[in-house]
Chain A
Amino acid sequence: MSDAAVNRRQEDAVGPVWREQFLLPLKRFPIGLYPTFMMSVFFLIPFIIMLVVSFATRTESTYEPGFEFTHYARFFSPLFTTHLLVSVQFSVLASILSVMAAVPFTYFISRFRRRPQVIALVFLLCVLTLSEVIVAYSLSVVMSRSSGLPSFVEWLGLIDRARSWYPGYLANLFGLSFFNIPFAVLILFPSCTRLDRELTEAAQTMGASPFKSFLTIVLPLLDRTIMAALVLLFVFTMGAFVTPTWLGRPEDTMMAQLIANQALNRGNIPFAAALSMFFMAVTIILSLITVRLRRGDPVGQT
């Protein structure tokens, strides 16, 4: 077959797809133009501009058009690598801790009767949507010297003199994990409601303890959902800003803080844009992994 024939064949294949899947539907449903407009102008175009800016030349106070890789080259500088490592470390630990707490918790909630279940869900939604500012603030009250756990531990006689537990590594880790728990519950909830009760009941009739049946039946059935939850929470934690600002030490600075600091305080928008591009690429790869994990999952979302 000649090249021209191959080309024509490809055009024939592409043409109808474009017409049937894009042009004709839009003709039948012209309102579709409005969401297309909104998402393109206010979401897609900002990202394209950001991509362009990530190659721009930095000037004294702002940036000018250019095409250079200097900002991406800074990914090899310690400024970037240390903060990346810190963020990854916190995100891995916080997602594991919160999932460990959330799996049994969600399983129990999914077995509640309807009314208590609805109340539990309302409560979790309230905690989930609570501003990071309020959560970080209230946790800092809990960990403060004057009125939180430290003075309680002092009162118990376990330590001689109470001191504030924040800012600190553990304070930040606890804050991030705490913030993740309601989110983890909501990710796991649909799969937990799909678990077949008869399986665990059968195991217990055969003499397995509830604990054993949870370990040997429930956990293996949930493995893909749990993996997906871990990845989602990892991404979610990587974007944390307020919690590490308020509960962490300067050396606990995470990626989102680095981006905000470069963009807003140092006026280095191109570097912040390059960081965001890297961050976005990682997020997209991880999201694709979760989509793949959920596909073909016996108890996953349909």
Chain B
Amino acid sequence: MNLVRWSKAAFITAMFGMLAAPLLIVAGVSLNAKKLMFFPPKGLSLQWYPAVFETNQWLEALTTSVIVAITAGIIAISIALPIAYFLWRHKVLYAKALFLAGIVPFALPPVITALGMLIFWVEVGHVGQIWNIMIGHGVFLVTLPLVMISLGLESIDDEILEAARTMGADSRRIFTTIVFPMVLPYMVAGYAFVIVLSMNEYIISYFLGQHATITLPVQLLASLRSGYSPIIAAASVMFILFAVVIFSLVARFGDLPKLLGAWTPKE
């Protein structure tokens, strides 16, 4: 019995350790004093963190990524909310088809979506613009807020809606006073997921940016190709911290296991 418990603990620790190892190593490399890639770091220094903000190309890439992520999140939510609400209110084929259309982008390999969108923008004659990436990410990542908002709508108690209707509220009033406030946490969580994924997305940004608009992951890979610098590690660490903060906030203010599909027993 003891052996089983020990091996179970060892296995769990090993898995977490393995998954965490790269993060710890990147953090270590970012602390190197000289412009070399050593782990453990030789000589400690925090100079590479401000360098991310002082070097023009890094700062530009960071700004681009943040603007793209924020806008892509708004686009994704603006598409996801009407689809989810439509399907929830009217279970018709039209709404089901729209829901399916919102699921497909995430299920396809992103390289296909990236190529399709690139050809589209080439045909339109609007290549390499930041808007292309914003819309691209918004459409590609619409699946996450769509699934989450639908989950939120399903959790609304029918009796509350019934009560509101009996008291004479029309559907607009029900939406603004009941539905919207109740799905808001799910919307925020969906928005957070889109932001983090957009910040980290490589291939769509690479295809649509066409060397004119460069996001942080594209900049990261380009710098890796041209030689190491602890700036790369420092930028990566900031990325990781960003994700930690966002997901911790989601977990703090929302029901994370439920958002990820955990089964919760009915009271």
Task: Report which A residues bind B (CB closer than 8 A).
Answer: 17, 20-22, 25-26, 28-29, 31-32, 34-36, 38-39, 42-47, 49-50, 53, 101, 104-105, 108, 110, 114, 117-118, 120-127, 129-135, 137-139, 141-142, 144, 146-148, 178, 181-182, 186, 189-190, 193-194, 209-211, 235-236, 238-239, 241-242, 245-246, 255-256, 259-260, 263-264, 269, 272-273, 276, 279-280, 283, 287, 301
Contact = CB atoms under 8 A, between A and B. Distances in A.
B90 A25 contact: yes
A45 B119 contact: no
Contacts of B113: 43, 46
Label chain A's interface by main secondary structure: helix
A263 B115 contact: yes
B141 to A, nearest CB: 11
Nearest to A23: B94
B102 to A, nearest CB: 7
B93 A17 contact: yes
Given A29-B89, A148-B39, 12 more contacts: A32-B82, A43-B104, A47-B116, A122-B244, A127-B23, A130-B23, A131-B239, A134-B26, A134-B236, A210-B4, A239-B109, A259-B115
Given A38-B79, A269-B119, A127 B19 contact: yes
Nearest to A204: B1
A13 B16 CA distance: 57
Using C-beta atoms within 8 Å of the partner chain, give the interface range for chain B: 35 or more
Contacts of A134: 22, 26, 200, 217, 220, 236, 239-240
Interface stretch (B157-165, B180-188, B257-265): B257-265
A286 B62 CA distance: 37
A123 B109 contact: no
Contacts of A122: 244, 247-248, 251, 256
Contacts of A26: 94
Contacts, number: 255
A49 B123 contact: yes
Nearest to A144: B37
A245 B220 CA distance: 14
A189 to B, nearest CB: 6
A138 B120 contact: no
Given A43-B101, A241-B111, A137 B232 contact: yes
Contact of A105 (B15, B40, B116, B202): B15
Contacts of B78: 34
Contacts of A235: 107, 109
A35 B98 contact: yes
Contacts of B16: 120, 123
A242 to B, nearest CB: 6
Q: Which 4 A-B pairs give the minimum distances between C-beta atoms?
A: A239-B109, A138-B22, A190-B261, A46-B116
A56 B45 CA distance: 56
B217 A131 contact: yes
Contact of A190 (B11, B40, B236, B262): B262
Interface string B194-237: 00110111110011000000000100110010000000100010
Contact of B95 (A32, A194, A283): A32
A46 B120 contact: yes
B25 A256 contact: no
Contact of A209 (B4, B101, B193, B207): B4
